[in-house]
Structure 1
């Protein structure tokens, strides 16, 4: 009876490990939080740098949140998992675990609990962090890109005939604009003196992730739900919005969408991450 019980436990652990490995292999990068919640400052005791080092050691391409990202990650944030180290309750021990979540905050992997009995904070946190990351050693992680897919969990989108007509119309309207003055000219055209533009926060208060599609990007929220599909123009940082009389453009490191609403022109701020 005892042997059968142990066999069942080991089988469950094997299946869980295999599932975790399959899930992890879908992601190319891991972004380590620049500050863990249980610490007072960013990279205190060098735990964030240590986490990045250990992830790289076990085969991942690890980055610290906020540093320069590779081009493919900048275009598709869902290529990466987010890594966070969490503190568990313990009276006489320091207990830490590692969690990996995807771009939609879905939990993908949780490490074992790393423990330390050291009394000095730096020594105990470092020891417990290393112990928690030891769970990664036998995962056998290896990135396996999805064949024929550029964007994770999102089908390739092509413009409909109506969208193409709208795009052609808008292209004609901005064709004469000079590239270096694109944003200024657009604002002059949408903000006449007798009809000022209303500037509001975006109706989507969360982050919109830009995912590459044919001839541009689509913007999705954390659901994930596609809110806008925008297509390239000959102008830098100016895009045409599919199926809408609207454009999305960048000025002063902020992204805006200009569109018609109830017969009036509106300018809204968008929080876009590429």
Structure 2
């Protein structure tokens, strides 16, 4: 009975070994990390560099993490395995095993535990790593292309092509929206001023104010002025367009102070009147203002 159990155990181990070998043969690359979690620095004790060297020695194409990857693995990451070292705690031994995961983060292979009794860290880690790689070397790895990987690569290329087309379409739509928005802004910013026929200037009417030496001059309207809102008031522009006056609000409704001019603008009998002194003469000028 014991011989029978031993035979079954040996058969299972051989099957597992052959299954692992077949699986590993379908992967072309192994990506080696720059730093292992149980160490403080990148490539401490040259352990990562040694890992890369030993994988290449076993027939793999080892790639250091972050280096320039070949085009085929860039297009299809499932061609590569990710390697890692697992450290087992021990009082008098340094124990390491090599773990390999596929692109789906599934463990596809774990080497036998390599051991070292060296006390100096450099020798202990490198010795344990070399012992662990003996079980990988025994697999006699040789890359065999997998049809599934080719299909995955083709699907990834098609997906990237579709994504690129969608991105290009989105860019074109964004550019069109920007152009439409700019057109709307320009249309809003540029004031459309109707051409206004000039009204001939009539002669000034001068009246004498009884009891004073002050004369009131009343001037007729000459064209239209258009009110554009500014801080605390409006600016009045003509059809050029040119800013003729800037007026500021007061506490009295329909009464404005004229900026830069000792004058007042107010509404009287439905008309806007500009009133100011010139050479001690009080003048009034009716303005046609469109608010």
Aligned-residue offset at 1:5? 2.1
> Equivalent residue for 1:6?
6
Closer/same/farther in 2, CA of residues 247 and 146 from structure 1, 3 Å limit: farther
Aligned-residue offset at 1:103? 1.3
Structure 2: how far apart are the matches of 1:106 and 1:16? 16
> Equivalent residue for 1:118?
118
> Equivalent residue for 1:230?
163
Aligned-residue offset at 1:145? 1.4
- Paired residues for 1:204-215 under 5 Å: 211-213=156-158
SS in 1 for 2:103: coil
Aligned-residue offset at 1:79? 1.1
Number of aligned residue pairs: give it.
175
Structure 2: how far apart are the matches of 1:24 and 1:155? 21
Aligned-residue offset at 1:241? 5.1
SS in 1 for 2:52: helix
- After superposition, what is the alpha-carbon deviation per residue over 1:97-131, rounded to whole angstroms, capped at 9, x for unaligned? 00000111111100000000111111000000000
Structure 1: how far apart are the matches of 2:171 and 2:55? 41
- Paired residues for 1:1-274 under 5 Å: 1-147=1-147, 150-152=150-152, 156=155, 211-213=156-158, 217=160, 229-231=162-164, 239-240=165-166, 246=170
Asked if 1 retains the 8 angstrom alpha-carbon contact of 2:97 and 2:110, the reply is yes
Structure 2: how far apart are the matches of 1:52 and 1:142? 17
Q: Which has the higher contact order (CA 8 A, sep 6+)?
A: 1
Asked if 1 retains the 8 angstrom alpha-carbon contact of 2:99 and 2:109, the reply is yes
User: Is there any run of 5+ residues in structure 1 with no aligned partner, and where?
Assistant: 157-210, 219-228, 232-238, 249-256, 261-274
Structure 2: how far apart are the matches of 1:9 and 1:102? 27
- After superposition, what is the alpha-carbon deviation per residue over 1:221-246, rounded to whole angstroms, capped at 9, x for unaligned? xxxxxxxx414xxxxxxx4259xx64
Question: What is the Cα-based RMSD across aligned positions, in Å?
Answer: 2.6
Asked if 1 retains the 8 angstrom alpha-carbon contact of 2:20 and 2:108, the reply is yes
After the TM superposition, which segments of 4 or more aligned residues of structure 1 sit over 6 Å from their partners?
Answer: none
Larger Rg: 2
Structure 1: how far apart are the matches of 2:140 and 2:63? 20
Closer/same/farther in 2, CA of residues 61 and 3 from structure 1, 3 Å limit: same
Closer/same/farther in 2, CA of residues 144 and 43 from structure 1, 3 Å limit: same
SS in 1 for 2:42: coil
Aligned-residue offset at 1:150? 2.8
Structure 2: how far apart are the matches of 1:122 and 1:88? 17
Asked if 2 retains the 8 angstrom alpha-carbon contact of 1:76 and 1:151, the reply is no
Asked if 1 retains the 8 angstrom alpha-carbon contact of 2:79 and 2:149, the reply is no
Aligned-residue offset at 1:155? 7.0
User: Is there any run of 5+ residues in structure 2 with no aligned partner, and where?
Assistant: 178-291
TM-score when scaled to structure 1?
0.58
SS in 2 for 1:31: strand
